[in-house]
Structure 1
Amino acid sequence: MFDSVGTLAVGAVFGLALAAPPGPMNAIIAEESVLRGWFPGFKAGLGAFTADALFFVLTLVGVVAIIDAQPGIRPILYLIGGVLMCYFALDAFRSAKDAFASSVDGDDPAAGFRKTFVLAATNPYQIGFWLTVGVGLLKEGTLDVFSHVPYVGGDLAGTLVVETGSPTLLIGFFAGIVVWIVSFPATLVGVGNRVDELAPVIATLSGIVLAGFGVLFLGVGATGLV
């Protein structure tokens, strides 16, 4: 029992550590949370979570491997993702302008979910993750948890190594992601309720993050097609 609880906890730490670093998904979650409230922010997180769950299923049945084996597909995915990120960046800047004017409305309640789901579904990094680390979670072996975490992997590599091959580890992994998409919007909303100026600032920062990743993806995609 204690081994199962420990495995579940490690999986949760892994999922939380992967979900928390700054990036396009968290930029959209932040924008939705501060402009429209906790539930729209949670739904934006749920879009990315759903894409991860879909990738896991497709990887198990071999579909993602077939896609990844086609070298011409990856640059196209980068270009699609880059265009979408730049488009969503413009939307974030418009939302920031409306927030400064105190005129943000409810908009489409499912917009955040669609944004993150589409971005995640066209993200070559996530496809690569599920082809390697994701499937490895269910295979017997070991996993250096923090070595796969963006930005801090090199510094923390080797500090948390866990045995894989247990479904409990995967359950914990997805549970960790859920913890993040519930708590991150709640934290932003809580802070935003006390700082009125936070909403337009977060929306602006979200637009900058999305635009930056969009340009990066467009550059990678264009280079891959040359």
Structure 2
Amino acid sequence: MAAGGLVSTLFAGVVFGVALAAPPGPMNAIIAEESVVRGWVAGFTAGLGAMTADACFFLLALVGIVTVVQEQPTLRGLMILAGGGLMLYFAYGAVGDAREQFSSESTQLAEDDAATGRGFQKAFVLALTNPYQIAFWLTVGVGLLEPGTVDILSKTPYVGSSLTGVLVVTTGSPALIAGLFGGIVLWIVGFPATLVAAGRRVDRLAPLVAAGSAVVLGGFGVYFLVDGVTTLS
């Protein structure tokens, strides 16, 4: 691949990574809650947990194991149920954080190793059972490893149909995968930093974001529980 093509593929991967990471959802709810309640390091660490799960899925897709989930509807349904249950559990925790923040004069809890470690664990375990991430690596993610083309922005959650044809790139290149993870890194660095900076200017942002995270996690949790039951039945 020529240098120009390599750079353009890498850039396309970065755009793809940001586009995948940015839309609202369970992962960003966890990152947002950790960021405004415990600080940038906790938010970044939570994002790192979600990205680590993506790296695991990538490796499993690389060796073909990920297709086992696709071929086993019972296993897929159980994973969706587990993800829904975890989301409801973390939503309960986010409600507790929101209450603590509303009743506290401080808008941010002190950061410590234990707190940031919990954020990583929460996001990592949730990401491993997140149906969106599983579905991505079962379909689009596997396709990125094989020679061909992919309409990158059409795969963006929620708004993909309106972006069809805007950015089509060649797949099967390590540069595309490297760019994708690079884009995710940009998001998990920038998103928490933006929230923390905004929180310092708006005193009540932390409890509001924590409450919003609880609503998002709870909503997705109920949806995935229903989806899991439907899949198993």
TM-score with structure 1 length normalisation? 0.96
**1:150 aligned partner:** 157
Structure 1 stretch displaced more, 95-104 or 190-199: 95-104
**Following the alignment from structure 2 to structure 1, what is the Cα–Cα distance between the partners of residues 186 and 122?**
20
- Mapped to 2, the partners of 1:208 and 1:147 lie a distance apart of 27
- For residue 137 of structure 1, the aligned residue among 132, 144, 165 is 144
> Which residue is equivalent to 1:34?
36
Deviation string 1:124-178 (CA, Å, 9 cap, x unpaired) is: 3322211221122122111101111111101111111111121111100100000
Distance in 2 of aligned mates of 1:14 and 1:88: 28
| Aligned: 1:219 with 2:226 | yes
Which residue does 2:15 correspond to in 1? 13
**Partners in 2 of 1:179 and 1:48 — Cα distance?**
13
Structure 1 residues 94-125: Cα deviation after superposition (integer angstroms, max 9, x where no partner)? 00000011264556331111111111101233
Q: What SS does the corresponding residue of 2:139 show, helix, strand or coil?
A: helix
CA distance in 2, matches of 1:176, 1:40: 19
1:45: which partner in 2? 47
Q: Give, in whole Å, the separation in 2 of the partners of 1:140 and 1:177.
A: 23
Q: Which residue, out of 200, 214, 230, partners 1:207?
A: 214
Q: Match for 2:87 among 85, 88, 108?
A: 85
Match of 1:122 among 123, 126, 129: 129
**Residue in 1 that maps onto 2:168:** 161
For normalisation by structure 2, the TM-score amounts to 0.93
Structure 2 Cα separation of the partners of residues 59 and 214 of structure 1: 26
Structure 1 residue 69 displacement after superposition: 1.2
Q: In the aligned structure 2, how far is the partner of 1:127 from the partner of 1:217?
A: 13
Counterpart for residue 197 of structure 1: 204
- Residue identity in the other structure for 2:231: G
The aligned amino acid for 1:40 is A
Structure 2 partner of 1:73: 75
Determine the C-alpha separation between the residues in 1 that align with 2:125 and 2:199.
27
User: Which residue of 1 is the match for residue 178 of structure 2?
Assistant: 171
What displacement does 1:70 show? 1.1
Match of 1:184 among 191, 214, 217: 191
The one-letter code matched in structure 1 to 2:202 is V
Q: What is the rounded CA distance, in whole Å, between the counterparts of 1:16 and 1:24 in structure 2? A: 16
In 1, distance between residues paired with 2:82 and 2:145? 31
Aligned equivalents of 2:6 and 2:232: distance in 1?
46
Looking at structure 2, the residues matched to 92 and 145 of structure 1 have their Cα atoms a distance apart, in angstroms, of 33
CA distance in structure 2 between the aligned counterparts of 1:105 and 1:140, rounded to whole angstroms: 48
Q: Give the aligned residue type for 1:33.
A: S
Alignment RMSD, CA only?
A: 1.3
